[in-house]
Structure formats: structure tokens, C-alpha cells
């Protein structure tokens, strides 16, 4: 048996995406073999995904597969070939606002794609599956910080509705087939190699170019901004915290919200600290040395004015709490952005 077959195998969907790239690098650095699945969609610049993937491909232990998760039979074939020990499912059509324009893309990628994944895992069960959800699942909830045990029945966008649907689908499979599944809800992730459609990227680009930025709800917004390295470490530590299938263990961890009928739970990953949008913009101004020109706008359909994560469950499960200071994280992004785009 060669060294490659002795390595632990992880399947990462959406591996050329922002978060997928970073978690794939983390696992490769730790000696895993990573099978990366990504359709390289043109939702944003494919060249950025290609640059991320080119770095992953420098490892002999990274396998790249270009295909859609919703392609019938693709995942079951991949599971049979690779028999992944761990699955990290990040592939999804992202973006709250785009879900208003093109809801079918969300139906196909998020719901049908997750169904294909669950069916493949049913046939070839991994030890642990970690599926990405979103803080948007909390929807119209106004009590903060958001706790995993809060009711989340009133999503405000179709994107959020599809992600909450994947949580329900995953729970049913965890119950029916005794599949250990962790859903993680992450909160406004930012950092190097981030998505161009996210505020961090858009604001930095516009501010450096002397262009106006659109600031919604007239700036009366706050977000629990989570630095990418904190998110990735949280995911990595959760890999080793597979949900026990023994129903007697319910409640063994403080604040545990494990399902009473399945090896399934939901975990928040956030910075546990809401930041005002205007403070976020000010941090970019300081990091770039440029003043923002602002176009004040009303709140957009499907958006929420604030998010804030209770991360006590993550801390109990992993002994880790994200804590990167916003100014530090923003500077790291701006440093990457200016170097990558050769500006300033």
C-alpha cells in the first residue's frame, strides 16, 4: 500500500471557492488527501477560482473534479471511487440578492445538489459529514445573539430558505440512516481570496478606485464579521467532534443541541461580536489610506439589519472561539488585495 492510500481522505465540495480553497489547504497541510469538487461556475470571475485551484494542485495529494454537485450519479460514483472518511459540503449557489433574480439556480445547486450528496453518503457512509448552512437561516429572528436552539422558521430570502431546507433534509438522513452530520451556520466571512460579490471585496475595490460604494439601510447595519482563518479552524476542529449516535449522550455537552432522534446538530461559527457597518468601512479606509465616498441606499429585499452569533456551543465542542479583531482581519485582506491586483 503506497503512502497516498494510507492518508485520510476528505471530499470538499466547492473546493475552488473562497472557503473551500482555505479548508482544502488546511487539510493538505495536515497530511490529508483531498478530493475537490467544483463546477467553476461563472457567478463571479472564474479566473479567481482558477488561481485558487492552481495553488491546491501543487500538492500531489489533491484531486480536482470539475462537475456540478447536482449532476445525477456523479457523487455516488465519486464516493465509491474515493471512500472519503470526511465530507465538507460547501458547494452552493451563494448570495442573498441573486436568489431574487435567479431562484432556480439555488433550487438546483443547494437542494438537488445536497440530495445527491446525501444519497451518495447513504450508499458509502463517511465517518462524519459537515454541511455548510448560513446565518441567514435565522431570518426574521430579532432576539440576539442567535442561538442554535432558536426557532428559525421565517427565512427572508430564497437563498436562506434553500439552506434551511438542506438542514431539514440532512436531519432526515441522519435519523433514517444513522449518519453523523454537523451543519455549521457561518456569519459574514471575509479575508484573503474572498468573493468579489462580498462587501469586503467590493468596498476595497471601489475605495481604492475613488468610486462610490452603496451602503444599504443608510448605514444602520451590523454584522458578525468572521475572519476566514477562524472559520477554517472552527470547521477543522468540528471534524473531530462527530455527533455521537448514542441517544443517551444528549445533553452531555453544555448547550448541546443534538437532535433527540439523530446524530445531527447545528453549530454557529462567528466572531461573537457584531460590528457596525460604518466601523467596517472605517477599517477599510484606515487600511487603504483612502476615504470612502458613500451612496446611501435603503435596505434591500431579503436582507437583515443585524447578525450576531452565540458561539458557546462551538467553544464547548472544540475549546475554540473565533477572535480575530476586525481591524486586523481587514488589514490582512487589503494587503492581499493590493498585492494580488498590483494596486496602491
Euclidean distance between CA atoms 12 and 78, whole angstroms: 12
Predicted local confidence at residue 69, as pLDDT:
98
Which residue's entry shows cell 496602491? 344
Q: Indicate the SS3 state at residue 214.
A: strand
Q: Indicate the SS3 state at residue 123.
A: helix
Residues 327, 328, 330, 332, Cα dihedral to 10°: 160
Predicted local confidence at residue 250, as pLDDT:
47
Predicted local confidence at residue 244, as pLDDT:
79
Euclidean distance between CA atoms 10 and 275, whole angstroms: 34
Predicted local confidence at residue 319, as pLDDT:
96
Return the closest-CA partner of residue 93 out of 76, 82, 107, 81: 107
Euclidean distance between CA atoms 304 and 138, whole angstroms: 10
- Name the catalytic one among 159, 173, 227, 337: 159
Omega of the bond leading into 179 within 30 degrees of 0 (cis): no
Return the closest-CA partner of residue 135 out of 223, 232, 194, 196: 223
Predicted local confidence at residue 75, as pLDDT:
98
Predicted local confidence at residue 256, as pLDDT:
63
- Residue 198 DSSP label: S
pTM of the model: 0.94
Predicted local confidence at residue 243, as pLDDT:
84
CA atoms within 13 A on the CB side of 157: 25
Does 159 participate in catalysis according to the annotation?
yes
Walking along the chain (344 residues) 10 residues at a time, the average pLDDT comes out as: 70 98 98 98 96 98 98 98 98 90 96 98 98 95 93 94 98 97 97 96 97 95 97 98 67 66 96 95 98 95 91 96 96 97 76
Return the closest-CA partner of residue 70 out of 117, 21, 133: 117
Are the beta carbons of 221 and 274 closer than 8 angstroms? Answer: no
Amino acid at each position: 500500500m503506497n503512502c497516498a492510500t494510507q492518508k485520510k481522505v476528505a471530499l470538499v465540495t466547492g473546493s475552488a471557492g473562497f472557503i473551500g480553497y482555505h479548508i482544502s489547504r488546511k487539510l493538505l497541510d495536515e497530511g490529508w488527501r483531498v478530493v475537490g469538487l467544483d463546477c467553476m461556475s461563472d457567478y463571479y470571475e472564474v479566473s479567481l477560482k482558477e488561481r485558487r485551484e492552481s495553488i491546491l494542485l501543487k500538492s500531489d495529494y489533491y484531486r480536482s473534479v470539475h462537475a456540478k454537485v447536482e449532476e445525477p450519479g456523479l457523487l455516488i460514483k465519486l464516493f465509491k471511487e474515493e471512500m472519503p472518511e470526511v465530507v465538507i459540503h460547501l458547494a452552493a449557489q451563494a448570495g442573498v440578492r441573486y436568489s431574487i433574480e435567479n431562484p432556480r439556480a439555488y433550487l438546483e445547486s443547494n437542494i438537488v445538489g445536497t440530495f445527491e450528496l446525501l444519497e451518495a453518503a447513504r450508499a458509502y457512509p463517511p465517518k462524519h459529514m459537515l454541511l455548510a448552512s448560513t446565518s441567514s437561516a435565522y431570518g426574521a429572528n430579532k432576539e440576539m445573539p442567535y442561538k442554535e436552539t432558536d426557532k428559525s422558521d421565517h427565512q427572508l430570502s430564497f437563498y436562506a430558505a434553500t439552506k434551511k431546507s438542506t438542514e431539514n433534509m440532512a436531519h432526515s438522513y441522519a435519523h433514517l440512516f444513522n449518519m453523523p452530520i454537523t451543519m455549521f451556520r457561518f456569519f459574514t466571512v471575509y479575508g484573503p481570496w474572498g468573493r468579489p460579490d462580498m462587501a469586503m471585496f467590493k468596498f476595497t475595490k471601489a475605495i481604492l478606485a475613488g468610486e462610490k460604494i452603496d451602503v444599504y439601510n443608510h448605514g444602520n447595519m451590523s454584522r458578525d464579521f468572521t475572519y476566514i482563518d477562524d472559520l477554517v479552524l472552527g470547521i477543522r476542529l468540528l471534524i473531530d467532534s462527530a455527533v455521537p449516535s448514542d441517544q443517551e449522550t444528549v445533553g452531555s455537552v453544555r448547550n448541546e443541541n443534538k437532535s433527540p432522534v439523530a446524530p445531527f446538530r447545528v453549530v454557529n461559527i462567528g466572531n461573537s461580536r457584531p460590528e457596525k457597518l460604518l466601523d467596517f468601512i472605517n477599517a477599510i479606509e484606515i487600511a487603504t489610506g483612502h476615504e470612502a465616498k458613500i451612496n446611501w441606499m435603503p435596505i434591500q429585499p431579503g436582507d437583515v439589519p443585524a447578525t450576531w452569533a452565540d458561539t458557546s456551543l462551538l467553544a464547548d465542542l472544540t475549546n475554540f472561539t473565533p477572535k480575530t479583531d476586525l481591524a486586523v482581519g481587514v488589514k490582512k485582506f487589503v494587503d492581499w488585495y493590493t498585492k494580488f491586483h498590483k494596486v496602491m
